[in-house]
Structure 1
């Protein structure tokens, strides 16, 4: 092999000229090129270094690259790996986050190539070329955009999406901690994501209203524009909240609002910095990308929720549509079967709705349907289900309701629906319409053990109800036959019992008490009991409900008032000191135009003053009246009869309504008293009711007092009228006389 020839002077000049041309080309290219010697020291840097890295052309000369380019601590390890691989393979590349001379940062791909050395030329220098290429956009696309968009496409939950955004952006900018705070409908903060932010601190922001001085995020949401705070310790926007982040080492915060297409602020996206500083160009590029991704995710979430609503909820009323109704009803049915609990299904069809639609137009018809849906939702319990099948057909599912409770609920719904509807009518004044309903009932498991069967049977029962006339209800035939026969027999027996002496009254004392014990008898409450000759004792709730639904309640109430007054007269003759007797009346009694007359006649017949009788009415009885101050109440008060509001706190009485009523007493419902031990909420509610009674100068009686704790709690808060097993059970009239003698002396 011939020995290599020594380059001629002209060849050497040509090689030098070619190298100069190559380096000049790199001067104007997007990449910076550094030539390093055998000691890895930079001996030449192209002018692109200034454009790319913000460094003066000679800033790197005589220095190793890692001493010039700042970055995370992990970069030193990457430099070592880069050189090791270049030594092995002649060329190697690595991606690094590099700091620049003007406090900026960018992601670069560093390619190190060991240039060949002519081994036959002694003393020839060992050189390397280091090429620096800006790959920030590529990294953002690969590490942030691609995974987040993929998660959006796969419809990951919003919380998971926002957490992914925060995690990925923190890998691209390790000097920040990212958070996303949702702004709820009440314009309050609701932390959504922040995987590197302490959860207990984020939780402390929940429910905080946005405003002009609520840190960076709350203020950005309030302004609708980005808020940069470069020094949390001194900025007035953080006065109330800096104590939450300064101990964590956060010194600056930059927050930007996330908006929908209508420019409504949905959330905020924030960077927290551990130095008092503003954002770099890299930070700005990342936030711009994150805001786009977050907006897309929120809009997608809204679209998905809207699609779900369209698919599963009725667009007119907002109730579950047929598909969702059947799914939810099936869940309720399966749960009832597992737990062996009753369940009722009501099929509701509006009466004469076609006539309303035809005569008033579909717009008015739609308004009627919306109002009916609202009334149905207000009529049922929290765990009940209301849905719209189609047209004017609605379904109500009542878990835990037996036939009696279902009938009561159906009657309540029917009563609510028959009330006049005020329907907006743009061309003129509002229309007043009536939209009663026919209701069919089917029971689980008697009438079916699946939704389809129950619906079919309730539909058939609804047609049975329509055959009876407007506003009627009917059970499916088998249940109707069985229950009706039993109910009719019991109704006949009750009608006989009222006049045959099978009903009796027992009396429960209402005592005055103080911390030392009972001071005396305030009054007694008369309670009706029925001992059936064949069936034995009948629960009061059962036969009173039967009296209400069968129209016997008036006769039952008159019997109770007359019997109680007769007993009061007997006690007076026997010098038994019973100051007053209280009798419960139903809502239907107060609809009786002869109420005042027969009460007056009863008092006169037994020679009693009106002050010896107290009539108790429920809040629901007041709700059924159309007048804020029914005249019959004033007339009863004029007789001297005292009026008490029973079960106070379980209805809907307002203070403005209460103070206008001619009542002298309210009775705190026993559900409040029962929960006093160990339930702070019950204690607060009870105290509040007592204060209401005190402020309105009303007597307050606590019902259901069974323990010393309950008694002591009530007495200490000024309630000295107590009724319950602790101080006296319901007893026969003769036993009461003995109780007064033995207990009160």
Structure 2
């Protein structure tokens, strides 16, 4: 990066007017991207805080300067800047990739995106945004790692492979020249690759024994560790060899040994520099990647079996991967069918593995998968097949195994997987985790005569087992297949129904009550109903669960909030006093980054104060670690929207969250209300919840009030908000209007 004081074009940062800047930059201000806003003269007038972390600049360094005066690359200023500007002017947006240097003289690959944001009415851009993204890792993967791995898999000759590695490295770091020298069985140097190195000089190393002072490479091979020489002209390691390389313009050399897994040195990988210097962070990352790739290539050369293992076996667990599993399982199925012998296929999916991964990290998750694989292999017979299909899904194929024997085996596996496992968790002590599994079983020939059918049917059975609870086992039966097809049809119908008017809202009143009885309407809860044209009424629990599973819950929630707000507007215009409406949101709705925006837009379109809307959420939404739920809840409260915690008392950590959440209402779960007249525990818990609500200033709504005895108990304990069939069933908007007239009468 160039110094601001030396740039003639530097000027005081202009003031950026308008509403665009906050909207554009809010997402990026503290994110991984560096964003610069430029004015019509392409002067930087705003830079996000990422300028410091990404480029090593002070936050104000880019201000008042042109981007090309701030950004530098190893080959000088941005040579492609003019092209980038012209393309952005013509197309509104342009993109390029460039190797840049930071203020700390570190190199990194960046993707530069220039976008024209607005114009002044005459077609001339008034603002533009330059977004810089560090793509060093993906660039290394795309330019170096992926092509070389592909070449390894396709068994490209070693010399060509090493030449390709050097060429790809030099494309990523133009300031180095790369070489690979092989070390033969007699510990002598054999030049292997160096496309930009002098062939004559490389040939002079041929047959030279490695030793303690044989340049950087021969010494690195002899020591078995990297050797950095920052000044070839004076370093004693280069006394015998400096005359050959100094005329080529090389002043420094960094060489690293390439070792196999037995730590035997196979070759050396070297960077030559034209300056007296050491490696940058980019150089270190490239060398680390190259050493892994070169080790893989050399070991492939020494042992084709190693490559076969990488191609056909899972690198994490050592089990056959999907490809090899399908081959071996397919052969086992064909053999069993040909010999008319039974065969069982077990589809195994870990319970709550995602929770382990999210809460403990992928390293712990990987350790769990390795232990699961080991337990599976120890559980089966010698001729059985165990493979990892994907993620936390495993398959076990049991040849010559009838249904009773397969049940015994599946139960043995389930019991083994349910045992606690100790997983290393550096730097702390080992973790004790439980990773039970749900298992689905399909039998040959009853459930299918080919591998694809057996896999599909075992998968369906596994989902049935999972629906029945943790650690369950289920055998496939034809009803599951029909149920799966019916679910697919129902999913298609639900997609249509959301936009076709088949879904409607009904409203259940929440009444105010005191010791003497009901005093009025407090609010209504909007509940979705689906009248299917052919199937009739579909249970809400069924289609809402379907919407969750197939990704339609967001559309369903938006429809429900919009419809409820529209109905509130109609009631208001008709002079019908409905104080509030509540709508249920799913935990998945909090995965939507536009949640607050679309709630705000819905309220605005229907001219509805936020205080008139209550959003009911479950505890799972509060415990989802992937979302900044607290920030979203706070933003909803700023809109005036009220928040209610549904099914309170059923979660295991509601109390630990309640005191720090912006919740105005909790809904006492109806399972407590149901037992009030005969269960002392339910009475005590209900009373405790009411006292908690009272002490925290939170409304408590009792759900599921169906009898006069329940209502009386609640009112006597100070519960003033009641909901249930006793006081009003869910009803249409028109029926609610009649209900209200009856309440007033």
Identify the TM-score tier after normalising by the shorter chain: 0.3 to 0.5
* Bigger radius of gyration: 1
Q: TM-score, normalised by structure 2?
A: 0.41
Q: TM-score, normalised by structure 1?
A: 0.41
